[in-house]
Amino acid sequence: MSIGNTIAAALSGLNVASRRAEVVASNVANAMTEGYGRRSLAVSSHGLGGVRVEGVHRQVDAGLIAARRLADADLEAGRFAADHLGRIELMVGRIGEDGGLAGRLAEVEASLVAAAADPASEIRLTRVTDALGALSDTLNSASDGIQSLRSDLDGTIAEQVAALNGALVRVERLNVTIAESAHSGVDPSALMDQRQQAVDSIAALVPIREIDRGGGEIALMSVAGQMLLDGRAYRFDFAPATYVTADMTLASGALSGLSVNGLAIAGDGVGRLVGGRLGQAFALRDAVLPAAQDSLDPLARDLIERLSGPADPTLGPGMSGLMTDAGTGLAPGHLPGLAGRIALNAAVDPARGGAARLLRDGLASAGPGPAGSAVQLERWTDALREALPLASGGQARSAAGHAASTLAEIGAARVSAERDTAFHGARRDTLRNAELSGGVDTDVELQSLLQIEQAYAANAQVLRTVDSLIRILLEF
């Protein structure tokens, strides 16, 4: 090898060593950076004996990242469901909890028993009306809370769709920039880090698969088969409702579903974007929360029917009973949202000018009856305790039994959702830790830095030796 080639080889070694030191420094600096892929320098031998840089490789485990993203989607969906089911449970109360439906019914029965022990006591009769009013208020509050949650979910869906569109546009632009950088010989690793973070944000909303299109570009498709990005980002639209009531559904057209590039998604409105926070938001709005409402409305109907008709012989056909549908009798087929409309008959409510004595004498009594008669009060108590099936079907139970069964079902759904969330969380953490273990190891990087230092010193020594040889030659 000539002296010139020796100098060139040593200089190329110094260049590679400095580039490796730069890569190691970047790795160490970004050891805790989310979405950072460890870099390594790819080199090859030069034909004249030196070494050259072929490029910087971004080292990530694509399979592990794909699995972790699916776990992210499952975890986000599970958390979202558990949170909303927990809110519903707080609205209706748990079994044995003061202020819940079961507790309110127990208060009504206890107040009726106390009033029957002293029918002449206006105070005890008023306590019955207060307990019945608290029971209807609890049902009203729970029903209104469910519809408020549905309305919030409608707005949340709109926000998530906007976030999805924004992230897809970012990935589309980064695709173009990464392809241009790779074509021009510029290291695109930092741009790939940004793209991975953008794709991760999409994966929390929709379970996705990443498809390599070559040249630095990727395409995105939902696990169920909906294309999200392929060259150009797909556009998703959603029209939120101003408010949501119990009778508003997707099937009736009162609530909106998604549209893709201007075409509405038929059926459940979310199509092949099921899973993740977005799909779970639709499931909660259109299935889970309406199911909770559907469990409260039959309870309200059961109370209205129990405390009217046969329970009070003074009532004639079509007359309102002790509990009403917004002040009137129960209208056939007008069940949706009944829990939000159930109310104590104003005729017995002293707060609205009514007479509490009607609890003792009968709602349609012509005048005051015997002050010491507890017959009608006992009829009310018996009506609540009688084992009857709900209009929607099922086992015959007392009013308190139906309330307890409904609360148990809501609580069980919440517990199941929390159990699933715990499982998805453990799975996601395991995959995340595995992903991090393949990332930057600062101990390894510092060991590499020592090797780089030695390589740099060796190449520098070659140049010093060549310099000494040249000086010896020049002395002759």
Whole-number pLDDT of residue 295? 92
Percent of the chain surpassing pLDDT 90: 57
112 CB burial (10 A radius; 0-12, 13-18, 19+): buried
**Which stretch of 146-160, 169-183, 357-371, 438-452 has the lowest confidence by average pLDDT?**
438-452
Whole-number pLDDT of residue 202? 95
Residue with tokens 């880090």: 193
Q: How far apart are CA 375 and CA 261, in angstroms?
A: 68
Identity of the residue numbered 197: Q
Q: Is 150:237 a contact under the CB 8 Å cutoff? A: no
Determine the 3-state secondary structure of 230 from DSSP. Answer: strand
Whole-number pLDDT of residue 397? 93
Q: Is 201:219 a contact under the CB 8 Å cutoff? A: no
DSSP 327-384: TBPPPTT--TTGGGTEEE-GGG-GGGT--TTHHHH-TT-SS---TT--HHHHHHHHHH
pTM summary value: 0.85
Q: Is 162:236 a contact under the CB 8 Å cutoff? A: no
Q: Mean pLDDT, the chain, as a whole number?
A: 89
Identity of the residue numbered 201: S
Q: Is 221:209 a contact under the CB 8 Å cutoff? A: yes
**CA 205 → CA 78, 98, 268, 347, 384, distances in Å?**
12, 38, 17, 52, 46
Whole-number pLDDT of residue 334? 66
Task: Give me the numbers of helices (H) and strands (E) for the chain, helices first please.
Answer: 11, 13
Q: Is 49:42 a contact under the CB 8 Å cutoff? A: no
Q: How far apart are CA 335 and CA 341, in angstroms?
A: 10
User: Max alpha carbon distance in the chain (Å)?
Assistant: 140
Q: What is the DSSP letter of 317?
A: T
Q: How far apart are CA 382 and CA 363, in angstroms?
A: 17
Residue with tokens 């010193």: 457
Percent of the chain surpassing pLDDT 70: 99
6 vs 218, more confident: 218
pLDDT class of 19 with cuts at 50, 70, 90:
confident
